[in-house]
Chains A and B, each alone.
Chain A
Amino acid sequence: MARAFTPKVITSNLLLSGDAVWFTANDTWSGDIAEAEFLTDEAHAELRLLEANAQTGVMVGAYLADAKLGDAGPVPTHFREDFRTRGPSNYAHGKQVETNV
Chain B
Amino acid sequence: MYKYNDFDEAFVRERVAQFRGQVERRIDGSLTEDEFKPLRLMNGLYLQLHAYMLRVAVPYGTLNSKQMDMLAHLAETYDKGYGHFTTRQNIQYNWPELRDVPDMLSDLADVEMHAIQTSGNTIRNVTADHFAGAAADEVADPRPVAELLRQWSTDHPEFQFLPRKFKLAVTGAAADRAVIKAHDIGIRILERDGVRGYEILVGGGLGRTPMIGKVLHDFLPEADLLPFIEATVSVWNRLGRRDNKYKARIKITVHEHGIEEIRRLVDERFAEIRPTFNGVDQEVLREIEAQFAAPEFRTDGVDDYDIAYADNPLFRSWADTNLSEHRADGYAIVSISIKKHGATPGDATADQMRVMADLARKYGHDELRISHEQNVILPHVHKSDLPALYLALRAADLATANIGLASDIIACPGMDYCALATARSIPVAQEIATRFDELKIEHDIGALKIKISGCINACGHHHVGHIGILGLDRAGVENYQITLGGDHTETAAVGERAGPGFSADDIVPAIERLVLGYMDLRDSADETFIETYRRLGAVPFKDILYPKEAANAA
Binding site for B on A (CB under 8 A): 13, 15-20, 56-57, 60-61, 77-80, 83-84, 87-91, 93-95
Contact = CB atoms under 8 A, between A and B. Distances in A.
Given A16-B98, A78-B476, A79-B478, A88 B26 contact: no
Given A16-B27, A17-B97, A79-B477, 17 more contacts: A13-B51, A15-B27, A15-B98, A16-B99, A18-B52, A18-B97, A19-B50, A56-B32, A61-B47, A78-B476, A83-B416, A83-B424, A84-B50, A87-B50, A90-B344, A93-B80, A93-B95
Nearest to A84: B49
Nearest to B95: A93
B33 A56 contact: yes
Which 10 residue pairs of A and B lie closest in terms of their CB atoms, listed nearest first?
A: A88-B416, A18-B51, A18-B52, A90-B426, A90-B344, A94-B50, A57-B29, A16-B98, A60-B33, A89-B427
Contact of A80 (B27, B415, B430): B415
A80 B426 CA distance: 15
A21 B342 CA distance: 31
Name the prevailing secondary structure of the A interface residues. Answer: loop
B476 A18 contact: no
Interface size band for B: 20 to 34
Contacts of B426: 88-90
A16 B424 CA distance: 26
B417 interface: yes
B437 to A, nearest CB: 17
Most A CB contacts (10 A, CB to CB) among B26, B29, B416 go to B416
Contacts of A15: 26-27, 33, 98
A46 B424 CA distance: 30
A64 to B, nearest CB: 16
6 contacts: A17-B98, A57-B29, A60-B33, A79-B415, A79-B478, A89-B416
Given A79-B478, A88-B417, A89-B416, A19 B29 contact: no
B337 to A, nearest CB: 17
B154 interface: no
A91 B343 CA distance: 10
A19 B95 CA distance: 9
Contacts of A93: 50, 80, 95
Nearest to A12: B47
A60 B47 contact: yes
Contacts of B27: 15-16, 57
B121 interface: no
Interface in B70-112: 80, 94-95, 97-99
B48 interface: yes
Interface string B27-58: 10100110000000000000111111000000
Interface in B130-181: none
Nearest to B97: A17
A13 B95 CA distance: 13
A88 B52 CA distance: 14
Interface in B177-199: none
B29 A90 contact: no
Contacts of A87: 50
Contacts of A80: 49, 415, 473
Given A16-B98, A78-B476, A90-B430, A83 B415 contact: yes
A72 B103 CA distance: 41
A86 to B, nearest CB: 9
A59 B427 CA distance: 30
A79 B338 CA distance: 28
Nearest to B45: A18
B502 to A, nearest CB: 16
B47 A89 contact: no
Contacts of B477: 79
Nearest to A95: B50
